[in-house]
């Protein structure tokens, strides 16, 4: 099939493009500058040179595709309200291009705000500032074949520029690899290439669900993450108050464990990449 992918040069999106092309699908990917466009073209994808604010171009690309995968999101946390609003506009534009057809849309979100141990049946927090999944469900009520892929908070692998590098940077800056309380709040994790397969398998199997969980390690104590980072950096791993983490305290103290039992069964998805803790043992994570 011909798939349009936003965020096609990003950490998750580039892996999705790689996986789709490897499985024989045709990909058009969004790239916002010439350097990213060249890298995307070299991967074998057709390039749409545009930004997330070019809603007309996004709608046209979605209209010409058999399916759409939306992975793009501006992760500048100092501008989070603006990023969330932009994301809403993009989801609406993509959905309007697909409305009235059976062509599917996969929207990316996370696990923040869900109950600990969440399953695919749990509903998103309507008060969450990121409304990706809420907006996707609104499209579903309009008849769009849409689903949300919830990513684990750590989509890990060498080259990671997500939340784990923030934890590592904080440890270096503060001289301690810290956790909150007893550190038994749980994160989940998924190897980047395993996460990419969830998107492809969901498309190939017809997007029959409202939610899929790209979660391999379902419940990793944050203290275990901090302990490995501390050992690798030669720093103590110790408890600290929430103030130690600044804006990152909600994530560092968050319970973002989740089950992927249903996703694995429905998609025959069997993660094969390294675990989060195994990845954190690699020296390249600290280069």
pLDDT digits (tens, 9 = 90+) for 7-31: 999 999 999 999 999 999 999 999 9
Q: What residue has token string 């291009």?
A: 97
Question: For residue 207, what pLDDT is reported?
Answer: 97
Question: According to the model, what pLDDT value does residue 262 have?
Answer: 98
Give me the pLDDT at residue 127, please: 79
Q: Are residues 36 and 166 in the same domain?
A: no
Residues 103, 233 within the same domain:
no
On whether residue 264 sits in a domain, the answer given is no
For residue 78, is pLDDT > 80? no
Check whether residue 57 and residue 147 sit in a common domain: yes
Domain identity same for 43 and 182: no
Number of independent structural domains in the chain: 2
pLDDT, average across residues 252-276: 97
In the predicted model, what is the mean pLDDT of the chain?
Answer: 96
Asked whether residue 252 is assigned to any structural domain, the reply reads yes
Q: Distance from first CA to last CA of the chain, Å, rounded?
A: 39
Q: What percent of the chain has pLDDT over 90?
A: 93
The pLDDT value given to residue 9:
96
202 in the same domain as 60: yes
> What is the average per-residue pLDDT within 206-217?
97
pTM of the model: 0.96
CATH number where 83 lies: 3.40.50.720
Query: 233 or 130: which carries more pLDDT confidence?
Result: 233
In a domain, 86, yes or no: yes
Residues 125 and 235 in one domain: no
Residue-wise pLDDT for 108-129, tens only, equals 999 988 998 999 999 998 878 8
In a shared domain, residues 13 and 84:
yes
Contact present, 140 and 120 (Cβ < 8 Å): no
Residue 125's pLDDT is 84
**180 and 131 together in one domain:** no
Looking at residue 113, what is its pLDDT? Answer: 87
Asked, for residue 266, whether it belongs to a domain, the answer is no
Rounded to whole angstroms, the Cα distance separating 185 from 65 reads 41
Of the chain, the percentage scoring pLDDT greater than 70 comes to: 100
Q: What is the pLDDT, as a whole number, of residue 128?
A: 80
Burial 131-157 (b: 16+ CB within 10 A, else e): bbbbbbbbbbeeebbbbbbbbbbbbbb
Are residues 47 and 176 both part of a single domain?
no
Could you tell me if 194 and 251 lie in one domain? no
Q: Quick one: pLDDT at residue 36? A: 94
Shared domain for 230 and 138, answered yes or no, is no
Q: Which domain holds residue 51?
A: 2-152+190-215
Integer Cα distance of 154 and 132 in angstroms: 18
Average pLDDT value for residue range 201-206 = 97
- Shared domain for 86 and 163, answered yes or no, is no
């Amino acid at each position: 099939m011909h798939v349009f992918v936003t965020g096609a040069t990003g950490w998750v999106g580039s892996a999705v493009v790689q996986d789709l092309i490897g499985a024989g699908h045709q990909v058009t990917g969004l790239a916002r500058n010439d350097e990213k466009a060249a890298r995307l073209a070299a991967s074998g994808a057709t390039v749409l040179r545009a930004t997330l604010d070019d809603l007309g171009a996004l709608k046209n690309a979605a209209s010409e595709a058999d399916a759409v995968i939306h992975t793009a999101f501006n992760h500048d946390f100092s501008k989070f309200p603006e990023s969330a609003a932009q994301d809403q506009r993009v989801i609406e534009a993509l959905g309007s291009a697909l409305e009235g057809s059976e062509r599917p849309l996969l929207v990316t979100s996370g696990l923040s705000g869900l109950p600990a141990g969440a399953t695919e049946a749990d509903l998103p927090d309507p008060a969450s500032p990121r409304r990706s999944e809420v907006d996707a469900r609104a499209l579903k009520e309009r008849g769009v074949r849409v689903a949300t892929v919830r990513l684990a908070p750590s989509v890990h692998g060498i080259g990671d520029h997500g939340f784990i590098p923030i934890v590592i940077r904080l440890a270096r800056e503060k001289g301690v690899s810290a956790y909150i309380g007893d550190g038994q709040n749980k994160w989940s994790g998924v190897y980047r290439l395993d996460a990419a397969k969830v998107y492809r398998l969901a498309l190939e199997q017809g997007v029959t669900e409202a939610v899929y969980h790209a979660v391999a390690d379902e419940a990793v104590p944050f203290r275990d993450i901090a302990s490995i980072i501390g050992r690798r950096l030669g720093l103590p791993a110790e408890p600290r108050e929430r103030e130690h983490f600044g804006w990152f305290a909600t994530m560092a103290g968050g319970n973002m464990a989740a089950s992927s039992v249903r996703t694995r069964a429905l998609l025959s998805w069997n993660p094969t990449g390294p675990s989060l803790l195994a990845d954190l043992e690699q020296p390249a994570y600290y280069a």
